[in-house]
Amino acid sequence: MHIYKVGGAVRDRLLGRPVSDVDWLVVGATVEDMHAQGFRPVGADFPVFIHPKTGEEYALARTERKSGRGYGGFTFHASPEVTLEEDLIRRDLTINAMAEDAQGNLLDPYNGKADLENRILRHVSPAFAEDPLRVLRVARFAARYAPLGFNVADDTLALMRQLSVSGELQALTAERAWKEIERALMESQPQVFIEVLRDCGALHELMPELDGSSQALAPLRQAAEHDQSLPVRWACLMLAIHDTTQINAVNQRFKAPRDCQELAGLVGDCLPLADRARELEPSALLALLQKFDVYRRPQRFEEFIAACQMAAFARGARSYAQADYLRGAASKARGVDVKPLVARGLTGQALGEALKAERLHVLAQHKATASCV
Ligand code: CTP
């Protein structure tokens, strides 16, 4: 039995990047051998085991063959005869198809190290096309490594194009696609993810609503530069779509998490109001705060402000005075104390109206103070 470190851990060590999780490959062993050594089997799809002490994943070397549409359509063959080279050739990119033995020697049959040095994302073999998820993976790696100068090889982009026009991307589940989208959005240059998907025709298949100009990616770029959260980044991307029905359609298609869906919808609807916040009458401002439920959901309003700010930066603004104004308004409205009103004996609708009047009053004061500054 030979055990190798493979995949991302080898790649990232050579790039001098932090290695988060290590995948191991076991060549020359049977399932029984693994059981005998105390490994615990996991994963219904492939022969993968968990190390009894470290908890890391160990996979038996395998070959794979496409047997149906989409990500799940594979038959695999794992046996002690499968060699390291045979296992590595079925992998997506040359930079992900390197292995390291126990002595730290690099085993690199598909020249991943050279591609790493030349900053090229290149597929290992035509087997790349057997898994449509790889189109999204390559775009995600392009986004992650863009600051290091990586580009997708021309013939890999051509393969991605073929996969896109073949309709295979439609077979991806919402969950798998979203997982890639989510990870890509959190990279340092997420706009590159969208650009690569556009270049290979995948964007047209996955999010045709976004298939317009690159200009529209500027808010997302700002969101990444300002280290914003996932919901803010998603909302900034969705700003490229001007129609709320279409934003909802994209949200549904990928089953985006609720916080992302909500923020994208609210930003799509309310950004113009935020941009004019200082001109809004107290009643309009209060309606905006109520819509966001700033009393119970302060974080969501904060993310809304952030998304509006990123959009302003994308238009070339150097600052966004509305941010502090909106924050101040929310804090003033939140600060209205209901207890004195209850002490006055108010209940039900009368209490609601008195509370509203109090809030309008503090918002009017807020507006007056801001216009004096
Ligand atoms: N792999 C592949 N095709 C896929 C998924 C994974 O070829 N659709 C291979 C690649 O060799 C990859 C390895 O399986 O390096 C491990 O996959 P994963 O853990 O998903 O990715 P990493 O390469 O470790 O990258 P990341 O840093 O994004 O986790």
Beta bridge partners of 100: 5, 106
Q: pTM (2 decimals)? A: 0.93
What percent of the chain shows pLDDT beyond 70? 97
Q: Which of 24, 92, 188 to mutate to test the pocket of ligand 1 (most atoms within 8 A of CB)?
A: 92
Q: What are the strands, taking DSSP E only, across the chain?
A: 2-6, 23-27, 40-42, 48-50, 57-60, 62-66, 74-78, 99-100, 106-107, 120-121, 151-152
Q: Angle formed by the axes of helices 321-335 and 298-314, to 10°?
A: 170
134 Cβ below 6 A of ligand 1: yes
Which residue has 């009643």 as its token pair?
283
40 annotated ligand-binding residue: no
Mean pLDDT of 148-166: 97
pLDDT at 372: 76
In tens, the pLDDT along 278-336 reads: 999 999 999 999 999 999 999 999 999 999 999 999 999 999 999 999 999 999 999 99
Centroid of ligand 1 to alpha carbon of 177 (angstroms): 15
60 Cβ below 6 A of ligand 1: no
pLDDT class of 245 with cuts at 50, 70, 90: very high
Q: Angle formed by the axes of helices 282-292 and 321-335, to 10°?
A: 80
In tens, the pLDDT along 213-224 reads: 667 899 999 999
Which protein residue's CA is at the shortest distance from atom 20 of ligand 1? 8
